[in-house]
Amino acid sequence: MTRTSPESRHGILVVGSLHYDIMVEADHLPRRDETGVGSRWYPKFGGKGGNQAVAAARAGAPVRMLGAVGADDFGAFLTRHLAQAGVDGSAIAVIDGVGSGMSVAIADATGDYAATIVSGANLHIDPARLADPALWRGVGAVVLQNEVPEAVNLAAALGARAHGAKVLLNAAPARTLSPEFAALVDVLVVNAVEAEMLGTAPVTDLATAQDAALTLAARFGAVVVTAGAAGLALVDANDRAFTIPATRVKAVSSHGAGDCFTGTLAERLTRSLPLGEACAAASAAAARHVAGG
């Protein structure tokens, strides 16, 4: 077996979703059967997988992403954005006959919004691709979310096990996880809603986040429960529990805070930082993101 130096395991493989988001601004959300008139629209790179890949690259990690887009202009936009962010997109498949993942979100002047996501090509990732040893060269951690089929996540977690990489799951959006997959997760990251969906009591502050993390720690290697502007609670693999208050910032938008947090956390974990220190750095990066930085 070849010896692998710690430096060569600093890479991150993100397996997940890519969405072309169309953001519409209007003075009110349309009611049923109404055609509303908006004031502005713009396209945005999205998908939790894509956002986390970009965040990890910004944090300084070599990042490769495995995912799928359709053979359309939206897919070209997504792969171009990944390349510009310094993410290796050579494992993004272009699938004929299916559209790229996309969403339409309408936000009103108060910030209320409604959105519809179409997963499209994200549902067509072939799990067999995770068995390719070349994909895992230099990879210290794989980052997963719940916007692709669990068969893909399971194949990725098994690949990580086979190649000595850590498995970081951001279980978002909330869905039930099979025990087989859950057992392979080294670090689980969930927000308040997702924690509750996985069976905890409601999370409203750092104390309840701590309780939730302790509850989930019985099923996952280590657990981070984020609680928005309050901060986060964590239980590490040695069952040590901590809370970290969020950095106080003037919030511009908390949209995408969790993705920035998870991407940065992955980067710090591949540098072998203890989970508490990695979470503190990720929390600071998420606060900067929320402040518009």
* Contact in structure between 142 and 169 (CB atoms under 8 Å): no
> How far is Cα 208 from Cα 193, in angstroms, rounded to an integer?
12
User: In which residue are the tokens 């989930």 written?
Assistant: 216
191 binds ligand ADP (CB under 6 A): yes
21, 186, 211, 259: which one is catalytic?
259
Q: Alpha-carbon torsion 251, 253, 255, 256, what sign?
A: negative
Shortest approach of ligand ADP to residue 256 CB, angstroms?
Answer: 7
Length of the chain: 293
Residues in 34-53 at the binding interface with ligand ADP, rule: CB under 6 A: none
186 catalytic? Reply is no
Q: Could you give the CA distance from residue 43 to residue 33 in angstroms, rounded to a whole number?
A: 25
x/- track of binding to ligand ADP for residues 225-264 (CB under 6 A): -xxxx-xx-------------xx-x-x--x--xx--x---
CB of 33 to ligand ADP, least distance (A): 32
CA dihedral 47, 52, 54, 56 (to 10 degrees): -170
Residue 214 vs 229, nearer CB to ligand ADP = 229
**Minimum distance, C-beta of residue 232 to ligand ADP, in the bound complex (Å):** 4
In 47-138, where do the E strands start and end?
63-70, 88-95, 102-107, 113-118
Cα dihedral 286, 174, 157, 101 sign: negative
115 versus 251: smaller Cβ distance to ligand ADP: 251
Provide the minimum distance between the beta carbon of 22 and ligand ADP in the complex, in angstroms, as a whole number. 20
| Cα–Cα distance measured from residue 263 to residue 268, given in angstroms and rounded to the nearest whole number | 9
Integer-rounded Cα radius of gyration of the chain: 19
Kindly state whether residue 165 participates in binding ligand ADP, applying the rule CB under 6 A.
Answer: no
Smaller CB separation from ligand ADP, 153 or 283: 283
Q: What is the nearest approach in angstroms of ligand ADP to the Cβ of residue 77?
A: 23
Decide whether 48 or 81 has the Cβ nearer to ligand ADP: 48
Give residues in contact with ligand ADP (CB under 6 A). Answer: 172, 191, 226-229, 231-232, 246-247, 249, 251, 254, 257-258, 261, 283, 286-287, 290
Instruction: Give me the active site residues, please.
Output: 259
